[in-house]
């Protein structure tokens, strides 16, 4: 596979060429952190970031998305008929996405693109998007991607992976979509260089880890009934921050909003940490306590997902939930407790 070299001067020219056929999204500085925004004309992505506060998952899975519109005006022939809301599935590029966030999109796809059902909204935006990754040579202290099935140079979910080499970039095309994008940008100069030269050094900077080797075989009911959930959930305030910053969380709610005689039906991000997320119309709530909700979050990511998809844990080790949690709940510690308890159960059963 041919590796391409791009000088830093050529980057802006290529982005200008891409704007003729794509919407460009990239990391930009915003107040005290970085976020992914659509890049206006003459604005380049800011690659000085370690990682953004929110992942770019909202470009494929918007925080609020109109699904249908309707009118309640009975004098109109189309009264009470749901009409598909206007959609924009024009080509777009997420430029500079970290490999962990790209892998998160792949994990999320398992929920929205199944044998039985394909979510048309999520799939429409996903298929319109080309993912251009920026390798992560300076990971955060809370990153543990290398033990979460990912890594600073992980390629899963990417169409192109770029590595910053100081005065130039190296670009590695990983799909036909990626090759087309490089051609449109005019980035075609082959490089005689080892793309993975910095990979081992970047991985060596990942200072923390999680153990997951016992989770798949662990007894589900034994983990569900473990006594450590009371301690883990004690400090939680159910603010939902962990779920909103998580690149693999996909919970949503569908609500109708009516103003006068016009209305719309929209899909909005939701959180399993919120008390009303699972409440039934009868008033019964199967996860009525804080302990229930905290346990659900970790059991879903570290046990149910592992058993259902056989694709590892539903976590890419980006560490955002650790950095953002106001009460210092750490998924690495919870994963360690679950994995250790699974090992204890195996020993107790004499296996």
* Residue 223: band (very low, low, confident or very high) from pLDDT cuts 50, 70, 90: very high
Mean pLDDT within 158-163? 98
For the chain, percent of residues with pLDDT exceeding 70: 97
Which helix (H) or strand (E) segment holds residue 160: the answer is: strand 160-164
Across the range 263-277, mean pLDDT stands at: 96
In order, the DSSP letters of 79-135 are TT--EEPP-----EEEEEE-HHHHHHHHHHHHHHB-SS-B-HHHHHHHHHEEEEEE-
Predicted confidence band at 350 (pLDDT cuts at 50, 70, 90)? low
Nearest to 137 by CA among 196, 178, 53: 196
Residue 330 has pLDDT above 90, yes or no: yes
289 contact partners, CB below 8 Å, separation of at least 6: none
State the chain's maximal CA–CA distance in angstroms.
74
pLDDT at residue 349 tops 80: no
Q: What mean pLDDT comes out for the span 164-178?
A: 96
Residue 111 has pLDDT above 90, yes or no: yes
Number of residues assigned to the chain: 351
The pLDDT > 90 percentage for the chain reads 93
- What is the average pLDDT across 191-202? 93
Task: For the chain, give the mean pLDDT.
Answer: 95
The answer to whether 98 and 45 have CB atoms below 8 angstroms apart is no
Contact partners, residue 285, CB within 8 Å, separation at least 6: 275, 276, 278, 279
Amino acid 347: pLDDT: 56
Let me know: does 48 contact 86? Beta carbons within 8 Å.
no
Q: At residue 160, does pLDDT exceed 70?
A: yes
User: How far is C-alpha 284 from the geometric centre of its chain's CA atoms?
Assistant: 31
The three-point CA angle 131-136-137 to 5° equals: 150
Assess whether pLDDT exceeds 60 at residue 38.
Answer: yes
DSSP assignment letter at 304 = I
The mean pLDDT of 44-54, rounded to a whole number, is 92
Per-residue confidence (pLDDT) for residue 342, from 0 to 100: 74
Neighbours of 117 (CB within 10 A): 9
Q: How does pLDDT run across 283-329, given as a tens digit for each residue?
A: 999 999 999 999 999 999 999 999 999 999 999 999 999 999 999 99
CA distance 152 to 145: 7
Q: Are 144 and 318 in contact, with CB atoms under 8 Å apart?
A: no
Q: Work out the pLDDT band at 204, boundaries 50, 70, 90.
A: very high
Say what angle helices 290-299 and 331-348 make with each other, to 10 degrees: 80
pLDDT at 341: 85
Helix (H, G, I), strand (E, B) or coil at 313: coil
Q: Encode pLDDT of 335-347 as tens digits.
A: 999 999 876 765 5
Tokens 């994990």: give the residue: 107
């Amino acid at each position: 596979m041919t590796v391409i070299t791009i000088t830093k001067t050529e980057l802006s020219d290529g982005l200008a060429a891409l704007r003729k056929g794509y919407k460009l999204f990239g990391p930009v500085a915003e107040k005290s952190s970085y976020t992914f925004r659509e890049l206006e004309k003459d604005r380049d992505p800011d690659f000085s970031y370690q990682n953004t506060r929110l992942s770019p998952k909202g470009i494929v899975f918007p925080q609020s998305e109109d699904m249908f519109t309707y009118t309640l005006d009975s004098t109109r022939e189309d009264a009470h008929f749901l009409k598909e809301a206007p959609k924009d599935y024009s080509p777009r590029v997420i430029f500079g996405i970290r490999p962990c966030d790209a892998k998160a999109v792949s994990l999320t796809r398992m929920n929205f693109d199944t044998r039985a059902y394909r979510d048309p909204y999520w799939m429409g935006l996903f298929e319109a998007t080309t993912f251009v990754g920026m390798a992560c040579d300076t990971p955060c202290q809370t990153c543990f991607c290398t033990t979460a099935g990912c890594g600073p140079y992980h390629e899963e979910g990417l169409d192109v992976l770029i590595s910053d080499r100081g005065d130039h970039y190296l670009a590695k095309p990983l799909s036909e979509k990626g090759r087309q994008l490089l051609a449109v940008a005019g980035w075609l100069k082959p490089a005689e260089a080892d793309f993975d030269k910095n990979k081992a050094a970047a991985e060596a900077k990942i200072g923390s880890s999680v153990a997951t080797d016992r989770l798949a075989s662990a007894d589900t009911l034994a983990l569900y009934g473990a006594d450590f959930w009371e301690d883990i959930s004690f400090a939680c305030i159910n603010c939902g921050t962990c779920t909103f910053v998580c690149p693999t969380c996909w919970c949503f709610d569908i609500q109708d909003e009516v103003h006068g005689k016009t209305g719309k039906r929209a899909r909005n991000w939701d959180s399993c940490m919120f008390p009303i997320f699972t409440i039934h119309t009868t008033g019964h709530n199967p996860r009525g306590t804080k302990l229930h909700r905290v346990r659900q979050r970790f059991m879903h990511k570290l046990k149910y997902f592992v058993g259902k998809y056989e694709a590892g844990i539903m976590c890419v080790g980006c560490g955002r939930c650790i950095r953002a949690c106001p009460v210092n709940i750490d998924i690495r510690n919870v994963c360690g407790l679950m994995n250790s308890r699974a090992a204890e159960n195996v020993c107790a059963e004499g296996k």
